[in-house]
Amino acid sequence: MSTATLTKPVPDRQQPPRPAAVADEGRIGLRGNLRHIGALARRNMLQIKQDPESLIDVLLMPIIFTLLFTFVFGGAMAGKGNLDQYVSYLVPGLMAMMGMSVSMSVGSGINEDFQKGVMDRFRTMPIARSSVLIAKIVVEVGRMLLAFSILLAVGLILGLTVATSVLHVLAAVGLSLLFGASLMWIFILIGLTVKTAQAVQGIAMLVLMPLQFGSSIFANPETMPGWLKSFTDYNPLSNLADAARGLFQGGPVAHDVWMVLAWSAVITLVTAPLAIARFRKKT
């Protein structure tokens, strides 16, 4: 007599649930991207509201730098009784410096968000990866605009003269915001590449100091050695400072404006895709 061994059918082994795939930018569409950028920008602004101390740099930096450079360099540059002339030279140049300084903080912020695990959460959500970074830039542009407003107010108190119109001043502000936003992609890429926020700041300062002081922000390049003057001629901060001065005081600005626009476009087109790709791959 044969016996049949009955075996219980073994169910297929269930795979652990996989996280929902993150939608790609192309599938989400422009309207969805804009909605995500708006929501993330609002989240970043609420963070600033809960931590007002994060605005200390943009509130105090324009005041301290304007007073410091005016009363330290102004007498030597324009004579002790002509500080207002140096203020009119300095303040448009400081717009370039403020934009670069504010841009630097974006890289540190991105790095810290990764250390806290915030970015890992964003990357599991069905949103475009670029929207996370663009929202950061949108909020930082707002902080930059606040810094420019304070800078201009302090400059007017110290004797800044504007020989053109309000529209020219707004054009100078807009140009500075555009260039500052393009620089943010560089610092975002640095923040996504190095391990710590301190490293971001260290690298940023190595880039920041030569570009700022090797430019026409603080002094006329005609007084500099030939090799340094050649460097200032190709320094985009010099182009931005000279363009802002021309828009404030009048004079030819076409060359410098086009140079700033070209620099902004090249920097964004090169570094933005690299930053987004690095954001996707970073663990």
| CA nearest to 86, candidates 101, 66, 62, 100 | 66
Distance of CA 25 to the CA centre of its chain: 22
**CA nearest to 128, candidates 272, 32, 271:** 32
Q: Which residues contact 237 (CB under 8 A, 6 or more apart)?
A: 96, 97, 100, 211, 212, 215, 216, 217
Instruction: Give the separation between CA 48 and CA 150, rounded to whole angstroms.
Output: 18
Which residues of the chain carry a pLDDT beneath 50?
1-23
Task: State how far the Cα of 15 lies from the Cα of 7, in Å rounded to an integer.
Answer: 23
User: Both tokens of residue 76?
Assistant: 């030597």
Helices (H), the chain: 25-50, 56-78, 83-116, 118-123, 129-158, 166-193, 197-213, 226-233, 236-249, 254-281
Segments making up each domain of the chain, as ranges: 29-281
Give the per-residue pLDDT at 152. 95
Nearest-10 Cα torsion for 102, 178, 109, 38: 130
Q: Quick one: pLDDT at residue 181?
A: 94
Best CA proximity match to 151, nearest among 176, 117, 114: 176
Torsion of CA 90, 95, 100, 106, to 10 degrees: 140
* pLDDT of res. 4: 45
CB 216 within 8 A of CB 238: yes
d(CA 64, CA 165): 27
Q: What distance in Å separates the CA atoms of residue 47 and residue 45, rounded to the nearest whole number?
A: 5
Instruction: Tell me if 111 sits within 8 A of 194, measured CB to CB.
Output: yes
